[in-house]
Amino acid sequence: MAIVVVGGHSRSVGKTSVVAGLIAALPEFNWTALKITQYGHGICSANGEPCDCVTDDHTRAITEELDRSGETDTSRFLVAGAKRSLWVRTRQGMLAEAMPDIRRKIAEAENVIMESNSVIRFLRPDLYLTVLDADNADFKDSAREFLDRADAVLLHRNGSVPRWNSVSLKPVAERPFFCIEPPNYVTSEIVGFVRDRIGTTARAREISPQ
């Protein structure tokens, strides 16, 4: 099994498009896709708008997406070719409580791709990609905290001086950088990188002593 996590420093930088693009470009992996949303005070961490993400027990919920209209992020994952698509909702700061349920869903899957930053605190994926846009001044604490864990950076091709303050890219200076731009967020180079890294990890597992 391979676990790929796609994060980003803010809303609307293309995380969902990257996940959907990788699912479509690598159908042989039979992905189970998860989107993790944290909420609090009636505001959704996914888009900063008032939301109805609150779960019935006010702690966590995992909902399987069945709609293939492409109107929601999890629906887009199904349209892209995911075998399953799951929406994980947790209250801000309570992702740990949802991790046992998330791990059970992972155990059921052939390969997993997740949209999240905060999940990096609780698991070590085979590949963690972070999406950055210099034109977007917001930089989430979770993206800053785990920036040094990124295996590669997907950077919007806009040539701008970064608008975010007090954030250094030194932790990823030696990591691969891939330029992206809408609507083609996933290039052949990115697909090749992901396929090679997953394959390398699988081979390492096969030869490692039990």
95 contacts 119 by C-beta, under 8 angstroms: yes
- Whose tokens are 């950077």? That residue is 155
Q: Could you report the per-residue pLDDT of 32-54, keeping only the tens digit for each?
A: 999 999 887 454 444 445 555 55
Say what the pTM is: 0.88
Percent of the chain with pLDDT over 70: 86
pLDDT at 166: 87
Q: Are strands 43-44 and 127-132 parallel, antiparallel or unpaired?
A: unpaired
As a residue count, the chain comes to: 210
Q: What CATH number corresponds to the domain at position 38?
A: 3.40.50
Beta strands, E only, 48-204: 60-64, 84-91, 111-115, 127-132, 152-156, 177-180
151 contacts: CB under 8 Å, gap ≥ 6 = 127, 128, 129, 175, 176, 197
Q: Which of 15, 22, 24 is closest to 80 using CA atoms?
A: 24
Q: Are strands 111-115 and 84-91 parallel, antiparallel or unpaired?
A: unpaired
pLDDT given for residue 159 in this prediction? 78
- Residue 12 pLDDT > 60, yes or no? yes
Range of the domain at 56: 3-207
pLDDT tens, position by position, 70-124: 999 999 999 999 999 999 999 888 899 999 999 999 999 999 999 999 999 999 9
- Summarised one tens digit per residue, pLDDT across range 146-195 is 999 999 999 999 877 899 888 999 999 999 999 999 888 999 999 999 99
DSSP 120-164: GGT---SEEEEEE-TT-----HHHHHTGGG-SEEEEESS-PPP--
Identify any residues that bridge with 181 across adjacent strands, giving them in sequence order: 184
The total number of structural domains in the chain stands at: 1
